Every structure is written in structure tokens, then in C-alpha cells.
Amino acid sequence: MANIMLCSCIVFFVALCSDVMANPHCKGVKGAYYPSWAFSTFPPSSIDTSLFTHIYYAFLVPNNTTFKFDIDDETSKLLFNFTSTLRSSVKTLFSVGGGGEGPARFSRMASTSVSRLSFIKSSIEVARKYRFDGFDLDWEFPQNKKDMENFAILLDEWRVEVKKESLATKRPQLLITAAVYFSVDFFLWGEFRSYPVPSINKNLDWINLMFYDYRGSWDTSATGAQAALFDTKSNVSTSYGLSTWIKAGALRSKLIMGLPLYGRTWKLKDPNVDGIGAPAVGVGPGDEGTLTYREIEKFNEENNAKVVYDSATVSAYSVAGTSWIGFDDTNSVAMKLHYAQSQRLRGYFFWAVAGDKDWKISTTAKQSWIIS
Ligand SMILES: *[C@@H]1O[C@H](CO)[C@@H](O)[C@H](O)[C@H]1NC(C)=O
Ligand SMILES: *[C@@H]1O[C@H](CO)[C@@H](O)[C@H](O)[C@H]1NC(C)=O
Ligand SMILES: *[C@@H]1O[C@H](CO)[C@@H](O)[C@H](O)[C@H]1NC(C)=O
Ligand SMILES: *[C@@H]1O[C@H](CO)[C@@H](O)[C@H](O)[C@H]1NC(C)=O
């Protein structure tokens, strides 16, 4: 039985590899974001580059009025340190924006051709000056239909300029990627709006699907799996989000599965009622109820926590007294990556690389990714 299953798997993956061969860009992407604010404790040289293909420097933000990147001396040093340390082993990109930045600046930048061109030209200059292989737009999030239209135009113009620059300099085109919401549609809050899939397919090398932050400190009434693969009771899950992208026509070869190297915590109402969805009264340990995987391992060990794998959501949680932590462990990551491959996705990425413990999760991920 095991042999038969193995055989069908191999046949399946060989068939896939012919797709991969037809498309030189089809090689599996194993990405991770690098949190630049962790430089002093986690310099770029601490990354085990054998586990990754692409590392994103997080973050740069353009000037609020000129939409150019004003890079101060300290940042300049970090950028050079980042690329000179990593670029011989992996591709490097710089990510623009981030969850802490908010949407307003990008909305204004994308709204006129002058501001878009200023941003685009500056992004190319920065990439070449600091020897990056490309850039990643992390606009969290376009707020309305107009923003989505402008997002599409921005991507069109960005690709045009990147092509022009490549022709003029005879260098490979810079990569353009974006970090996006878990679902193609924003159906939970604000104006209903959808990402411009045709422009994404045409202009971006790939998109990083942020398959996490489904539950957290903003709702302390019950515990939850912040990166559930499946949820029978709601549409806030990775399998649902992915299905919306595919249904909307996103090319599977452009889709990268996001995985969190952090978890989210709650304070249980009753330490004896501790499953997923158990009543809670507040956040648990960590800054605003978040802990990196490394911190979770430490917490679990020091507090002799009970650790449970939940196959329904494909996630793990740990409990010690009233402290409850939901996170991804090696099992959930392996399962998710089997799922990603069965869905013929291009690869995966982590937020964020400094959160791993002894490279346990990243190693499991690499070993689980069988396609090229
Ligand atoms: C943005 O650019 C303008 C014009 O160059 C400059 O006056 C302003 O100080 C810059 N803003 C920041 C935050 O650096
Ligand atoms: C950016 O500029 C806008 C309008 O010019 C202004 O309302 C906003 O406060 C500025 N934000 C920052 C962070 O400087
Ligand atoms: C980068 O910074 C680290 C930590 O300060 C230092 O040890 C290393 O030599 C630097 N590398 C480069 C290539 O500048
Ligand atoms: C999930 O989304 C589908 C449409 O994609 C909808 O029919 C269904 O009612 C939604 N389920 C829930 C629980 O919201």
C-alpha cells in the first residue's frame, strides 16, 4: 500500500516537473522575511542560507511626499551588509511598507502617474545601488476599489520600467513580488474589494499569500488557530483563502504559501477548558499576545506545557495554567506544505526568519518541499 501511494506520488510530481521545466521560473521558492530591526541580535550572517532561495529585507518605506526612498547612513550600512552577506547564496529583495506602515501613503502614491513613476524609478535605483535582485510591495492593504485599480496600474508601469531598465543595462529584470491578503476578496471588513488578478498574473513574479493573523488579540473572547489550514465553521482559513485566489484566475505558479514563525496567545477563562475555541478572558504571554516560535519552545519547556497537535485545523497549541498559545509546529508545517504541493503552488515563505529555533521549522519545510 505504501509503495503504491509512493508510486502515484512520484508519477504526480514527475508530471508536475514537466510544467516546471517548461517554465524556467517554476523552481520552488523558499522565502523568508528578514526583520531588519533585529540586526544587533540576529545579523544577516546568522541565516542558514542553505534553507532558503529568497530573503526579503523588511522594510523600506518611501518618503511621504516625494515617494522616493530617502535612505539614511545607518540604513545604508544595513542594506549593504544584508546584500553583501547573502547575495552569493540566495536572491535578495527589499520589501516596501509592512503591517506597521498603514495604507495611506501607498494609496496616495498609486493615485497619480507622477507619484507612481517617482516611486518606481527610486525603487529601481535603490535595488541596483544596493545590489538587490528585486523588490516586494507590502501594501497593507488597499482600502477600496479605487486603490485596487491603481494597484493594477502601478504593477503595469512597474513592469514596464523594470523591462526598460533591463534592456538598457543588459542585466536580468529585477523581480517584482507583493505580499497580499489571505483571500483575493476583502469580505470581512471595509468596502468589498478584490485584488486585480489579471495585472498580478501579468506583472508580478509571484505573490506572498499572508496565510496567518486569522485570530488574535483583537478578539479575546476565545482561543483560535491564527493560521488554520481548515475551518469548518468560517471562511477564515488558508484552504478557503487559497481557493478564492484560484477561482479568481490567479496562476498557481505565482502563489506562495505564507507560514508564521510565531504564534498567538490567550488567557483561558477556565484552565480545564482548553481546546481551540475555548473561552478566553484576555491575551496570554508575549507582546500583544504574540510570541516567536523560538519563544514558544522556551515557554513550553520552562512551564512544562501540554502540547497538542490539532489535525482538524492543522495547527498546534500549548497550555500551561491559563496560558494558551496557538502556533505552527513541524507537523503542521509539513502538512501545509503537502497541501501546497497538491495544489501545485510555487513555494512558501516565512514571516519571519529570526523566529525559528535551531532551524527546526525551516528544515522541516525544506525537506517537505519535494518539487525541485
Ligand atoms: C520627504 O521629502 C521632502 C522633500 O524632499 C522633505 O522635505 C521631507 O523632510 C522628507 N520627509 C521625511 C520624513 O524625511
Ligand atoms: C503624509 O502626508 C499626508 C498628506 O500629505 C499627511 O496627512 C500625513 O499625516 C503624512 N504622514 C506622515 C507619517 O508623515
Ligand atoms: C555585517 O555586520 C555584521 C555584524 O555587525 C558583521 O559581523 C559583518 O562583518 C558585516 N558583514 C559585512 C559583509 O559587512
Ligand atoms: C463561505 O463563502 C462561500 C462563498 O465563497 C459562501 O457561500 C459561504 O456561505 C461562506 N461561509 C461562511 C461560513 O461564511
Q: pTM to 2 decimals?
A: 0.93
The catalytically annotated residue of 74, 101, 140, 297 is: 140
- Residue whose CA is closest, atom 12 of ligand 1? 63
Cβ(85) – ligand 3 distance below 6 Å = yes
Looking at residue 372, its pLDDT comes to 62
Task: Give every CB contact of residue 306 below 8 A, 6+ residues apart in sequence.
Answer: 274, 318, 319, 320
State percent of the chain over pLDDT 70: 92
Would you call 85 helix, strand, or coil by DSSP? helix
Check if the beta carbon of residue 90 is closer than 8 Å to that of residue 55.
yes
Task: Give every CB contact of residue 279 below 8 A, 6+ residues apart in sequence.
Answer: 221, 222, 268, 269, 270, 273
C-alpha of 213 from chain center:
11
Query: Residues 140, 352, 263, CA angle at the centre, nearest 5°?
Result: 90
C-alpha of 89 from chain center:
20
CATH code, residues 267-324: 3.10.50.10
Looking at residue 4, its pLDDT comes to 37
SS (H, E, C) 4-36: HHHHHHHHHHHHHHHHHHHCHHHCCEEEEEEEH
Ligand nearest to the CA of 241: 4
**Under CATH, what is the fold of the domain 2-261+328-368?**
TIM Barrel (3.20.20)
Identify which has the larger pLDDT, 13 or 168: 168
CA separation for the pair 5, 190 (Å, rounded): 46
13: alpha, beta or left? (left if phi > 0; alpha if psi -120 to 50): alpha
- Whole-number Å distance, alpha carbon 39 to ligand 3 midpoint, is 10
Residue 259: strand pairing partners: 350
Question: Has residue 57 got a pLDDT over 90?
Answer: yes
Question: Has residue 166 got a pLDDT over 80?
Answer: yes
Please, where in the chain does CATH 3.10.50.10 lie?
Answer: 267-324
Please, where in the chain does CATH 3.20.20.80 lie?
Answer: 2-261+328-368
* Annotated catalytic residue 149: no
- Whole-number Å distance, alpha carbon 64 to ligand 1 midpoint, is 7
Question: Has residue 22 got a pLDDT over 60?
Answer: no
110-158: pLDDT as tens digits: 999 999 999 999 999 999 999 999 999 999 999 999 999 999 999 999 9
Would you call 360 helix, strand, or coil by DSSP? helix
Task: State the burial class of residue 45 (Cβ atoms within 10 Å of its Cβ: 0-12, 13-18, 19+).
Answer: exposed
